[in-house]
Each structure stands twice: as structure tokens, then as C-alpha cells.
């Protein structure tokens, strides 16, 4: 055969299951995520969305099943190593240094995730590289105008954008976002929506989000979790029209 060679999906989840003692919080679930676009996971409270994310990031070890990132089995890989293999999850706001500027925060992330450790004082070329990378990260998350502001003085929405900027420092192929708009006002939600959509043009964004309007607007595909299982998977229009999905949200699905 010439030409086309099968390329592994950005993320492939096969039969993962997570039990807490006897209780099965998740699975078994299987799905794949293509290498670009926003792929949303929705579902009522307790459906297993965060448990799924924790199995993807390595914070939780699944009871069964496998997780592959770009074809590589990462099921048992430590969380920090997954980051170096192209899987990113936004840092918590508590990971920001509130007394440093936005640019300094971005620079620290770029430095920490640059391919090898380096001596800040001797390697001026790499220092310039890290600074340029920080500029680029802030540009992507619409924070350039805030670069010299102390991070602790940013609005809640801006802080969440900075977390994502920092998560992108390692040039991930897959970005996981768990409720990135929670606690935000309408203007910040709108900005975040546009930025997530833009990120989806160059990487796979796996998004957990309760804001259904947002999900419908920017997702390439939607997976509905219900009681730990996949209830439906499809295009936004298919999900919106699905009677079982509506019933799950109203609490009447079997
Ligand atoms: N560490 C744990 N120990 C025991 N049970 C847990 C644990 N973590 C989650 N669960 C249970 O697993 C189920 C799924 O929880 P999970 O947090 O994944 O739901 P979710 O879809 O993220 O919900 P939400 O929309 O409220 O964030 C729930 O019944 C929850 O109580
Ligand atoms: Mg959750």
C-alpha cells in the first residue's frame, strides 16, 4: 500500500471503568477523539465526567480499560509524564503566583515545560525563546494587554484564561478543560467561548461544561454521560434533538 497510513486518534479510550469500593462511578466507556476540534462531555451532576477526566490525566487509576494518547498507552503513566507527552489540563487558579505579573507566570510555565532544564543566567538564547513563548501564550488567550498586571489583580475570568495559557506551554495535542466557565459572568463566558473555539482549530479540546448553549455553539461532537455510561454521542444538532438526552436532563431517563 502506498500513501495513506492509519494515524492514531489524539485520544482513544477503550473500556475504561472506575469503581470506588463497590460503586461503579464510570464505565465501561469507549470513545476516540480526533486530532482537532472541541469534543464536549455533558451530563447531569454525578454522571462521571470529572471521574473520566481524572482517569485521563492520571490522577485516578482506572479499575479497568486503557487510555491511549496518539497511539501510546498512557493508562499507568504518572500525571506529570502525560503532560510531557502532549496531554494538558488547566492548572487551578491556586497554581498561579498572585504576586508575579501575568507575563512572569506565563514565563515560568514556558520554562518548566521547555524540553530540557537550562541555566537561566548562561543560556540567553533560550531565555529569549521562553520570553517569546510566554508572549505567544498570552496572545492566544487574549491577555497581552494584561501582561504587566500582577496575577492576583486579574478578574476571575482572566485568571482562568491565564491558567489555560500556562497549560498550553508544553504545546499539547490534547487539552482537557473541566468547567472552564464556572463562576463567570456573561462577558467572560463569551470571551472564553471564542477562545476555546479558536484553540480547537489547532488541537483536540476535551471540554466538560454545564453551559449547554456554549457547548452547542462550539462543539464538533458531544458525548452525553449518564450514570457513568455513554447515553449518546453525536453532532450538536443530533444531541439537541434527542428525546433520551432531554429526559436525562429532566431526570426521567431510565
Ligand atoms: N473519590 C470518590 N470516592 C467515591 N465516590 C466518588 C469519588 N469521586 C466521585 N465519586 C462518585 O462518582 C460519581 C461521579 O462523580 P463525578 O464527580 O465524576 O461526576 P460529574 O459528572 O463530574 O458531576 P458534576 O457535574 O457534579 O461535576 C458520583 O456519584 C460521585 O459521588
Ligand atoms: Mg464534575
Q: Which ligand is nearest to the CA of 56?
A: 1
The answer to whether the peptide bond before residue 28 is cis (omega within 30 degrees of 0) is yes
> Which helix (H) or strand (E) covers residue 249, if one does?
helix 243-250
Is residue 54 predicted with pLDDT exceeding 90?
yes
- The DSSP 8-state label assigned to residue 113 in this structure reads T
pLDDT in tens, 204-247: 999 999 999 999 999 999 999 999 999 999 999 999 999 999 88
Q: Is 51 in the pocket of ligand 1 (CB under 6 A)?
A: yes
pLDDT in tens, 80-134: 899 989 999 886 556 799 999 999 999 999 988 766 555 655 677 778 889 999 9
Q: What is the DSSP string of 20-55?
A: ETTEEEEEEEEEEE-SSEEEEEE-STTSSHHHHHHH
pLDDT of residue 129: 86
- Tell me which architecture the domain covering 7-86+174-254 has in CATH: 3-Layer(aba) Sandwich (3.40)
- The DSSP 8-state label assigned to residue 192 in this structure reads H
Q: Is 50 in the pocket of ligand 1 (CB under 6 A)?
A: yes
Residues of each domain in the chain carrying CATH 3.40.50.300? 7-86+174-254
Which residues sit with Cβ closer than 5 angstroms to ligand 2, an ion? 49-50
- The DSSP 8-state label assigned to residue 114 in this structure reads S
| Mutation choice for ligand 1 from 20, 21, 24, 225, CB with most ligand atoms inside 8 A | 20
| Mutation choice for ligand 1 from 17, 18, 25, 230, CB with most ligand atoms inside 8 A | 25
- Minimal-distance CA residue to ligand 1 atom 6: 20
pTM: 0.91
- Minimal-distance CA residue to ligand 1 atom 25: 45
Q: Which ligand is nearest to the CA of 226?
A: 1
Amino acid at each position: 500500500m502506498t500513501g495513506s497510513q492509519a494515524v492514531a486518534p489524539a485520544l482513544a479510550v477503550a473500556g475504561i471503568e472506575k469503581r470506588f469500593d463497590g460503586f461503579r462511578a464510570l464505565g465501561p466507556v469507549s470513545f476516540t477523539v480526533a486530532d482537532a476540534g472541541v469534543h464536549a462531555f455533558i451530563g447531569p451532576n454525578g454522571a462521571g465526567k470529572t471521574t473520566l477526566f481524572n482517569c485521563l490525566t492520571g490522577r485516578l487509576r482506572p479499575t479497568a480499560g486503557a487510555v491511549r494518547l496518539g497511539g501510546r498507552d498512557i493508562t499507568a503513566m504518572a500525571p506529570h509524564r502525560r503532560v510531557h507527552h502532549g496531554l494538558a489540563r488547566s492548572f487551578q487558579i491556586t497554581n498561579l503566583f498572585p504576586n508575579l505579573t501575568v507575563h512572569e507566570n506565563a514565563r515560568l510555565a514556558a520554562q518548566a515545560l521547555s524540553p530540557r532544564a537550562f541555566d537561566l543566567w548562561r543560556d540567553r538564547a533560550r531565555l529569549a525563546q521562553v520570553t517569546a513563548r510566554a508572549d505567544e501564550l498570552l496572545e492566544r488567550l487574549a491577555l497581552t494587554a494584561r501582561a504587566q498586571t500582577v496575577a492576583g489583580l486579574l478578574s476571575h475570568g482572566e485568571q482562568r484564561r491565564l491558567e489555560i495559557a500556562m497549560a498550553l506551554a508544553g504545546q499539547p495535542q490534547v487539552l482537557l478543560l473541566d468547567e472552564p466557565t464556572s463562576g463567570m459572568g456573561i462577558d467572560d463566558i463569551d470571551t472564553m467561548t471564542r477562545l476555546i473555539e479558536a484553540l480547537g482549530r489547532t488541537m483536540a479540546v476535551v471540554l466538560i461544561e454545564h453551559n449547554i448553549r456554549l457547548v452547542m455553539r462550539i462543539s464538533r461532537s458531544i458525548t452525553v454521560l449518564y450514570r457513568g455510561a455513554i447515553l449518546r454521542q453525536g453532532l450538536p444538532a443530533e444531541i439537541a434533538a434527542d428525546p433520551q438526552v432531554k429526559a436525562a436532563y429532566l431526570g426521567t431517563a431510565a
